[in-house]
């Protein structure tokens, strides 16, 4: 039995479809209005559960889930000790630096950066030897430059619509993001065949 | 002695050895013996225990009601017999001690016994050390920071975060010699993410000096045996830094890109490696990185696969060392749980040869890690080589069995004004069979006892 941590939300639905298309169906999970959290399919040897997308890596790292699907943004931010087995090529977006349209990057002052991803922002600016002041926010990042809280933001950009509506634009791309299939390291030792079976079937479908 | 007993007697002994619990013994012996037979036999054992404890004949006779003839017969068997009484009485005593040990303590004792069986000497060290040595080699502790404080002279000190470095620092450089040491020590670290201070129990061994292929195999074999002690399925992943660096070093890449590739190998992340190689215009099909990530970990298959890869010349000695190790372990019957897995990547500035990691089913992270760390020796200014490993004993807690559901076996309740001497005597008697006796006035609701006994002036009363 393989425990699979799925990220709640739109991405998770897509991922579940990939798993089901690859042969790991679980009829229970489609029951309407169910309040259950765990869905099991004995014949396919999988047990799915929905968790908050940013928690998937924790569930997998600590072994509560054998495998899971997490965005590369989460993996870069928390660097969990897991195997990253597959790029699912969905949930594609970019981690970007965005700023107001009239923003000019003046080199002689400390850059104020608002972000949900402090570790990514720090290592990005460290690689450019730029001194920054990190402002960690938990949501509505776009507000920060508009109100003068920060000079720029480091955030995920999918279509750019939210930025445009708030008169912001992408300034630099930090790293492209997509959903990754991750595995607990110990599970990979003791359930290797089962996990590789799932990985190879999904890999075949993505090609 | 063998002729004394016929086939029937031998069957009976086998039956005794097959008994698994006290309850089973009671049922078996009450079926097979008469009450008198049991009384006779058990009173002989009691006499033997008392004799061994140094009690004189007359006291024993009074206490047990046994005749002096019986006592002297038992005494003869005890002193001039086959050693049967002695062995069992000692074992009962040992069992009493063992019963009180926690599972994690037993785990440590088992590991100690294993390391001592190969002549490793115990290394005991101070909890505090000057910070300098750790400051210079911070990366060795992979992401976890050292807890520091100033001593009374204003020197910056560290709570020991690791044992290996202290052992190396104290090792003597001598020709052709190897020093073999083991340790079980608490180490102290601040974990990177939650900023919590942690105390961890680490057990492990180091082999320092002139390291040859025998020493390497011995250490890896002991690592495998350490994992097997816990009676669960386990896996020991082995990798060789010489092969990894042999593949990566010749590539026309920046140091940052090389580091990124090594990180990807550690994550079994072949898609990212592809991207890095493509960005730098290197043909991924030519450089074996994808192949070693997806290598079949069964040792012999892996060695065959590696031999068929176009590995650079510089990796050849490493491959042949790896092959020797795999073959040796196979001959010693240890290969079943060995895997070749290049995702075991330790820091290249410390480790250079074979590196390995151990997993036990039921523990979600690695419990053992180690390898050949000649480069760390150089950084500390030693000319010798070294190989060793450490086991994170705290992680084993989850698989070492459930803790006892009772806080003590017996609660002995007394009242104000009870005679303390009588209480102590009764507690001694109740604990003689190894029971844990808590002498208390009132039972706390939070604690659980197997049975409760009330102390009365006239004797004890079960409740």
This model of the complex carries an ipTM of: 0.86
Q: Looking at per-residue confidence, does A60 or B253 come out higher?
A: A60
| Shortest CA distance from B274: residue in chain A | A87
Question: Alpha-carbon distance B124 to B184, whole Å?
Answer: 8
**CA–centroid distance for A41 within its chain:** 26
Question: Alpha-carbon distance B188 to B163, whole Å?
Answer: 10
| Model confidence pLDDT, tens digit, residues B353-406 | 999 999 999 899 999 999 999 988 888 888 889 999 999 988 888 777 666 678
Q: What is the pLDDT of residue B103?
A: 75
Chain A CB contacts of B366 under 8 Å are: 185-186
Chain A CB contacts of B276 under 8 Å are: none
Question: Do A71 and A177 meet the contact criterion of CB atoms below 8 Å apart?
Answer: yes
Q: Among the listed ranges A15-19, A103-107, A110-114, B422-426, which one has the minimum average pLDDT value?
A: A103-107
Query: Nearest CA of chain B to the CA of A148: how many Å?
Result: 30
Q: Looking at per-residue confidence, does B319 or B3 come out higher?
A: B319
Nearest CB to A83 within list B193, B235, B268: B268
Chain A CB contacts of B339 under 8 Å are: 189
| Model confidence pLDDT, tens digit, residues A14-62 | 999 999 999 999 888 888 877 888 899 888 899 999 999 999 999 999 9
**CA–centroid distance for B393 within its chain:** 6
Query: Nearest CA of chain B to the CA of A67: how many Å?
Result: 12
Chain B CB contacts of A188 under 8 Å are: 268
Within 10 Å of residue B350's Cβ, how many Cβ atoms? 22
Q: What is the pLDDT of residue B399?
A: 79
Q: What is the pLDDT of residue B190?
A: 82
Residue B232 CB-density burial (10 A; 0-12 exposed, 13-18 middle, 19+ buried) = middle
Q: Does B70 touch chain A (CB under 8 A)?
A: no
Q: Dig out the tokens for A131 from the structure.
A: 């001194």
Question: Alpha-carbon distance B61 to B93, whole Å?
Answer: 23
Q: What is the pLDDT of residue B146?
A: 84
Question: Do B243 and B292 meet the contact criterion of CB atoms below 8 Å apart?
Answer: yes
pLDDT grade, residue A109 (50/70/90)?
A: confident
Residue B1 pLDDT > 70? no
Chain B CB contacts of A184 under 8 Å are: 364
DSSP string, B163-213: SHHHHHHHPPP-TT-EEEEEEEEEEEEE-TTT--EEEEEEEEEEEEES--H
Nearest CB to A186 within list B267, B272, B363: B363
Question: Do B457 and B418 meet the contact criterion of CB atoms below 8 Å apart?
Answer: yes
Q: What is the pLDDT of residue B64?
A: 81
Nearest by Cα to B429 from B414, B439, B417? B439
Q: Find the angle CA(B444)-CA(B445)-CA(B449) to the nearest 5 degrees.
A: 75
Per-position b or e across A193-204, b if 16+ CB within 10 A of its CB = ebbebbbeebbe
Average pLDDT, chain B: 86
Question: Do B439 and B425 meet the contact criterion of CB atoms below 8 Å apart?
Answer: no
| Shortest CA distance from A187: residue in chain B | B364
pLDDT grade, residue B463 (50/70/90)?
A: low
Q: What is the pLDDT of residue A184?
A: 96
- DSSP 3-state percent helix, strand, coil across chain B (nearest 5): 50, 20, 30
Chain A interface residues (partner B, CB cutoff 8 A) = 61-64, 78, 81-87, 184-190, 192
pLDDT grade, residue B142 (50/70/90)?
A: low
Q: What is the pLDDT of residue A7?
A: 95
Q: What is the pLDDT of residue B458?
A: 58
Q: What is the pLDDT of residue A142?
A: 92
Do the chains contact at B267 and A62, CB–CB below 8 Å?
no
Q: What is the pLDDT of residue B319?
A: 93
Most confident of the following: A105-109, A122-126, B61-65: A122-126
Do the chains contact at A86 and B364, CB–CB below 8 Å?
no
Q: What is the pLDDT of residue A82?
A: 94
Average pLDDT over residues B82-92: 85
Residue B138 pLDDT > 80? no
Do the chains contact at B268 and A189, CB–CB below 8 Å?
no
Q: Which of B295, B365, B367 to mutate to test the interface with A (most CBs of A within 10 A)?
A: B365
Q: Among the listed ranges B3-12, B168-177, B271-280, B451-460, which one has the minimum average pLDDT value?
A: B451-460
Q: What is the pLDDT of residue B166?
A: 84
| Model confidence pLDDT, tens digit, residues B436-456 | 888 888 888 888 888 888 887
Chain B CB contacts of A81 under 8 Å are: 365
Q: What is the pLDDT of residue A12?
A: 92
Q: Which of A186, A192, A195, A199 to mutate to test the interface with B (most CBs of B within 10 A)?
A: A186
This prediction has a pTM of 0.79
| Shortest CA distance from A88: residue in chain B | B271
| Model confidence pLDDT, tens digit, residues B205-229 | 999 998 999 999 999 999 999 999 8
Query: Nearest CA of chain A to the CA of B272: how many Å?
Result: 8
Do the chains contact at A87 and B272, CB–CB below 8 Å?
yes
Question: Do B158 and B128 meet the contact criterion of CB atoms below 8 Å apart?
Answer: yes
Q: What is the pLDDT of residue B143?
A: 61
pLDDT grade, residue A194 (50/70/90)?
A: very high
Q: Dig out the tokens for B336 from the structure.
A: 């079943």
Nearest CB to A185 within list B272, B297, B365: B365
| Shortest CA distance from B366: residue in chain A | A186
Residue B193 pLDDT > 90? no
Average pLDDT over residues A65-77: 95
Chain B CB contacts of A64 under 8 Å are: 364
Longest pairwise C-alpha distance within chain A: 63
| Model confidence pLDDT, tens digit, residues A161-186 | 889 998 899 989 999 999 999 999 99
Within 10 Å of residue B25's Cβ, how many Cβ atoms? 12
Q: What is the pLDDT of residue A27?
A: 85
Q: Does B359 touch chain A (CB under 8 A)?
A: yes
Residue B135 pLDDT > 70? yes
Q: Does B363 touch chain A (CB under 8 A)?
A: yes
Question: Alpha-carbon distance A129 to A110, whole Å?
Answer: 11
Q: Looking at per-residue confidence, does B194 or B241 come out higher?
A: B241
Is B368 strand, coil or helix?
strand
Q: What is the pLDDT of residue B112?
A: 92
Nearest CB to B364 within list A78, A186, A192: A186
């Amino acid at each position: 039995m393989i425990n699979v941590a799925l990220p709640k939300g739109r991405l998770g639905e897509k991922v579940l479809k990939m798993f089901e298309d690859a042969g790991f169906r679980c009829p229970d999970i489609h029951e309407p209005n169910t309040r259950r959290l765990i869905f099991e399919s004995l014949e396919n040897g999988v047990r799915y559960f929905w968790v908050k997308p940013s928690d998937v890596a924790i569930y997998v790292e600590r072994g509560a889930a054998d495998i899971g699907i997490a965005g590369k943004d989460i993996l870069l931010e928390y660097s969990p000790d897991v195997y990253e087995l597959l790029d699912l090529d969905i949930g594609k977006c970019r981690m970007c630096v965005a700023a107001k349209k009239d923003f000019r990057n003046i080199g002689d002052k400390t850059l104020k950066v608002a972000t949900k991803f402090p570790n990514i922002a720090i290592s990005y600016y460290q690689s450019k030897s730029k001194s920054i002041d990190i402002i960690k926010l938990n949501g509505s990042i776009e507000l920060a430059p508009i109100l003068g809280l920060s000079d720029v933001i480091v955030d995920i950009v999918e279509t750019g619509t939210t930025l445009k509506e708030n008169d912001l634009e992408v300034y630099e791309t930090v790293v492209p993001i997509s959903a990754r299939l991750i595995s607990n390291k110990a599970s990979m030792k003791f359930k290797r065949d089962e996990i590789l079976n799932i990985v190879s079937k999904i890999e075949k479908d993505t090609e | 002695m063998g002729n004394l007993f016929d086939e029937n007697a031998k069957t009976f002994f086998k039956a005794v050895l097959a008994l698994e619990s006290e309850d089973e013994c009671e049922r078996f012996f009450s079926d097979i013996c008469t009450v008198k037979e049991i009384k006779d036999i058990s009173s002989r054992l009691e006499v033997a225990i008392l004799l061994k404890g140094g009690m004189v004949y007359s006291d024993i006779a009074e206490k047990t009601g046994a005749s002096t003839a019986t006592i002297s017969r038992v005494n003869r068997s005890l002193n001039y017999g086959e050693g049967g009484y002695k062995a069992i009485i000692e074992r009962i005593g040992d069992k009493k001690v063992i019963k009180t040990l926690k599972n994690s303590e037993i785990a440590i004792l088992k590991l100690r016994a294993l390391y001592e069986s190969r002549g490793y000497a115990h290394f005991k060290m101070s909890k505090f050390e000057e910070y300098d040595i750790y400051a210079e080699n911070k990366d060795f502790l992979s992401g976890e920071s050292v807890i520091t404080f100033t001593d009374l002279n204003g020197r910056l000190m560290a709570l020991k975060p690791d044992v290996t470095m202290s052992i190396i620092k104290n090792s003597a450089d001598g020709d052709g010699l190897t020093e073999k040491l083991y340790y079980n020590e608490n180490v102290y670290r601040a974990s990177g993410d939650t900023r919590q201070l942690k105390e961890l129990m680490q057990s492990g061994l180091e082999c320092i000096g002139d390291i040859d292929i025998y020493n390497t195999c011995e250490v890896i074999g002991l690592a495998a045996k350490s994992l097997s002690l816990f009676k669960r399925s386990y896996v020991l992943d082995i990798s060789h830094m010489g092969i990894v660096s042999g593949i990566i070093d010749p590539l026309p890449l920046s140091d940052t890109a090389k580091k990124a590739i090594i990180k990807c190998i550690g994550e079994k992340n072949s898609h990212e490696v592809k991207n890095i190689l493509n960005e730098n215009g290197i043909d991924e099909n030519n450089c074996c990185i994808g192949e070693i990530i997806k290598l079949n970990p069964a040792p012999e298959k892996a060695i065959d696969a590696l031999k068929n890869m176009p590995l650079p010349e510089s990796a050849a000695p490493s491959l042949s060392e790896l092959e020797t190790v795999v073959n040796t372990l196979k001959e010693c019957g240890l290969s079943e749980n060995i895997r070749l897995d290049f995702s075991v990547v330790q820091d290249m500035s410390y480790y250079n040869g074979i590196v390995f990691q151990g997993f036990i089913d039921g523990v979600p992270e690695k419990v053992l890690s180690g390898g050949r760390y000649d480069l760390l020796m150089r950084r500390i200014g030693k000319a010798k080589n070294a190989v060793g490993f450490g086991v994170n004993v705290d992680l084993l807690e989850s698989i070492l069995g459930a803790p006892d559901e009772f806080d003590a076996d017996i609660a002995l309740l007394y009242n104000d004004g009870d005679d303390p001497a009588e209480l102590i005597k009764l507690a001694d008697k109740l604990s003689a069979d190894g029971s844990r006796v808590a002498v208390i006035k009132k039972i706390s609701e939070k604690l659980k006892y197997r049975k409760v006994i009330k102390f009365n002036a006239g004797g004890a009363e079960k409740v």
